[in-house]
């Protein structure tokens, strides 16, 4: 099995400093036990603590967690000048209107690449290591995997689930001696093609992606990642990142992953709308309607959900994107 730690995330109040000794000990321990670490991240309790230029590691991603709508206005100029800082806005209790969507469109017009670094959130728990939904709850560290790679060689869902269980148990055994350990976010976080793609595995089990949508595959998967994790923290759900899972991006282009289907699957198992393409000429009214719907579904089902739309700042409805982002697959943008 290819054991990939997608994110090792430190939550700290200390300004701009990853605890280097702890980071080195964890990296050495995980590497010794066959894990590769994709990214290290640090999340602060507020944006006033964050000065990414002063970090003691150059390649670390920084997060300022969850901001209120009012706080986001104050942070936006700094965010637009940043290079690797992410944040989200909590809309759980907001009366959503055009002014909330204006922030997204301002980012699209000023620095479109940063739409990748921003999300709207609803009832999202703290301490998830996945950005931009991460938020500070208490000091410590959490880990998140790229569990799709653990499906390599599997011919059934149950085989993959057992692979995940064994890795969670191993991680728990390795990390629980650390007093700073907050837990494992067992979310399914797909990436790219092949072994990293959730949809690639789905197509091994079903004739096509659309067939899988009306089966219990996604509900079975979400129940397992929520209930079988020995030390859960954060989201613990199934991510459906439209443009990060390149096989899912292909389904989007074929018309098989509409915004309606995305929301439908989020109620099965998912965590909302993620890296979903938006055109610069998309009417704001539709975005407001989608945010209101996701908010009401989050409330109705007491479920963490988020919305992350991404734009290249140029593509209109019907145009092909040019993201120039290794994590995003270029597609021809559809209307929402």
pLDDT at 41: 92
Reduce the DSSP state of residue 118 to 3 states and report it: strand
Instruction: Outline where 91-140 has alpha helix (H).
Output: 98-111
For the chain, the distance separating the N- and C-terminal CA atoms, rounded to the nearest angstrom, is 38
Position 55 confidence tier, pLDDT thresholds 50, 70, 90: low
- Summarize pLDDT for 213-242 with one digit per residue, the tens: 999 999 999 999 999 999 999 999 999 999
pLDDT at 56: 53
**Residue bearing the bigger pLDDT, 54 or 106:** 106
- Summarize pLDDT for 33-50 with one digit per residue, the tens: 999 999 999 998 876 656
- Taking the CA atoms of residue 34, residue 38, residue 39 and residue 40 in that order, the dihedral angle to the nearest 10 degrees is 10
DSSP for 194-238? GGG-HHHHHHHHSSSHHHHHTSSHHHHHHHHHHHS-SSB-S--SB
- For the chain, the 3-state helix, strand and coil shares in percent, each to the nearest 5, are 40, 20, 40
Position 187 confidence tier, pLDDT thresholds 50, 70, 90: very high
pLDDT at 216: 95
What pTM was computed for the model?
Answer: 0.93
Enumerate residues 6+ apart whose C-beta is below 8 A from 155: 204
Number of helices followed by number of strands (H, E) in the chain: 10, 9
Enumerate residues 6+ apart whose C-beta is below 8 A from 86: 61, 62, 63, 64, 117, 118, 131, 132, 134
Burial label for 277, CB within 10 Å (0-12, 13-18, 19+), is buried
Tell me, rounded to whole angstroms, the distance of Cα 102 from its chain centroid.
Answer: 22
Do the bridges between strand 305-310 and strand 118-122 make them parallel or antiparallel, or are there none, so unpaired?
antiparallel
Residue 19 has pLDDT above 80, yes or no: no
Residue 157 has pLDDT above 90, yes or no: yes
pLDDT at 20: 77
- Measured between alpha carbons, how far is 295 from 306 in angstroms, rounded to an integer? 9
3-310 CATH, one of 3.30.460.80, 3.30.70.260, 2.20.130.10, 3.20.70.20: 3.20.70.20
- Least confident range of 40-54, 74-88, 130-144, 251-265: 40-54
Tell me the mean pLDDT in the region 4-28. 86
Q: So where are the chain's domains?
A: 3-310
Tell me the mean pLDDT in the region 249-277. 94
pLDDT at 17: 62
Position 150 confidence tier, pLDDT thresholds 50, 70, 90: very high
Contact 245, 198 (CB under 8 A): yes
Position 82 confidence tier, pLDDT thresholds 50, 70, 90: confident
Tell me the mean pLDDT in the region 171-179. 97
Position 51 confidence tier, pLDDT thresholds 50, 70, 90: low
pLDDT at 224: 96
By C-alpha distance, which of 184, 49, 77, 86 is closest to 129? Answer: 184
Give the CA distances from residue 141 to residues 175, 182, 253, 305, 313, in Å, rounded to whole numbers and listed in that order.
Answer: 10, 6, 38, 22, 35
Position 53 confidence tier, pLDDT thresholds 50, 70, 90: low
pLDDT at 83: 83
Looking at every residue in the chain, the average pLDDT score rounds to 93
Tell me the mean pLDDT in the region 106-132. 96
**Residue bearing the bigger pLDDT, 309 or 48:** 309
**Residue bearing the bigger pLDDT, 46 or 325:** 325
- For the chain, the maximum distance between any two Cα atoms, rounded to a whole number of angstroms, is 53
Enumerate residues 6+ apart whose C-beta is below 8 A from 72: 87, 89, 103
Percent of the chain residues topping a pLDDT of 90 = 83
Given CA atoms 55, 26, 125, 244 in this order, what sign does their dihedral have? positive
pLDDT at 48: 67
- Measured between alpha carbons, how far is 230 from 173 in angstroms, rounded to an integer? 10
Residue 261 has pLDDT above 70, yes or no: yes
Percent of the chain residues topping a pLDDT of 70 = 95
């Amino acid at each position: 099995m290819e054991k990939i730690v997608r994110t090792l995330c430190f939550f700290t109040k200390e300004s701009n400093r990853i605890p280097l000794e702890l980071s080195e000990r964890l990296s050495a321990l995980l590497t010794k036990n066959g894990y590769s670490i994709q990214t290290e991240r640090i999340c602060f309790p507020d944006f006033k603590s964050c000065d990414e230029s002063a970090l003691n590691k150059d390649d670390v991603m920084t997060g300022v967690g969850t901001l209120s709508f009012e706080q986001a206005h104050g942070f936006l100029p700094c965010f637009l000048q940043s290079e690797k800082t992410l944040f989200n806005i909590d809309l759980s209790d907001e009366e959503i209107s055009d002014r909330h969507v204006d922030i997204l469109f301002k980012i699209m017009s000023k620095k479109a690449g940063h739409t990748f670094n921003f999300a709207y959130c609803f009832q999202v728990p703290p301490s998830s290591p996945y950005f931009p939904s991460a938020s500070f709850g208490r000091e410590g560290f959490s880990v998140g995997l790229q569990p799709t790679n653990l499906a390599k060689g599997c011919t059934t869902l149950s085989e993959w689930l057992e692979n995940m269980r064994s890795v969670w148990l191993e991680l728990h055994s390795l990390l629980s001696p650390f007093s700073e350990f907050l837990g494992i976010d067992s979310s399914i976080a797909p990436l790219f093609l092949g072994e990293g793609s959730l949809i690639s595995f789905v197509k091994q089990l079903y004739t096509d992606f659309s067939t899988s949508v009306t089966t219990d595959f996604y509900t079975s998967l979400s129940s397992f990642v929520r209930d079988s994790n020995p030390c859960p923290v954060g989201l613990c759900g199934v991510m459906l990142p439209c443009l990060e899972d390149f096989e899912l991006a292909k389904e989007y282009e074929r018309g098989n992953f509409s915004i309606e289907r995305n929301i439908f699957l989020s109620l099965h198992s998912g965590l909302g709308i993620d890296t979903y393409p938006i055109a610069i000429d998309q009417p704001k009214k539709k975005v407001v309607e989608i945010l209101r719907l996701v908010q009401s579904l989050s409330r109705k089902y007491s479920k963490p959900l988020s919305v992350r739309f991404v734009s290249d700042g140029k593509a209109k409805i019907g145009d092909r994107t040019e993201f120039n982002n290794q994590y995003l697959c270029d597609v021809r943008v559809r209307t929402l």
